[in-house]
Amino acid sequence: MEFFGWILIIAIVVITILILSKNQPRIRREKYIGEFQSEIHKLEVEATSLVDKELIQRLDRALRNAYMEKVNTEFRMRHRNWSQKKVNEYWRELKRYFILAAVFKKVEMFDKNVDELWHLMLDYEQEYQMFSNGFIGKHLNHNPHGEPVHKPEERKI
């Protein structure tokens, strides 16, 4: 009977571990969503003498929170050891990039992590199209990091 008791205990431990590990991604996603929601107010881009407030407001209206939350969660699942604070830095840089793209029409991506965040946005085709249309009135084309296509001789990096 003692042998079967140990088998039962081992089986219970294994099943518990399997259940916990199966729920881990869901728990992690919920954590990332909560962190994103509590930090979203820190993603604001400020107007300057060169970038007017109306353009920033149009960007913020077009870039809906639910869409950003999905993209943010996927990005965090890929970079589990990064804090929301660090990811917010990439969000702010992506928003600045979008403003540059709206003003200059053709701007190359300057950072691989910001580009990865943008790629995740592109994975949600319908939401990305709604964002593009809401922000600049047409599809905002993706110009990848590291692949200069516009005046490569002027690219410094």
* pLDDT score of 134: 95
Could you give the CA distance from residue 1 to residue 111 in angstroms, rounded to a whole number?
Answer: 63
Higher pLDDT, 10 or 79: 79
**What are the φ and ψ backbone dihedral angles of 5, each rounded to 5 degrees?**
-65, -45
DSSP state of 49: S
pLDDT 10s digits, 92-115: 999 999 998 888 877 778 889 999
Number of CB atoms found within 10 A of residue 139's CB: 11
Tens digit of each residue's pLDDT (9 = 90 or more) over 105-156: 777 788 899 999 999 999 999 999 999 999 999 888 876 655 555 555 554 4
pLDDT in tens, 4-15: 778 888 878 777
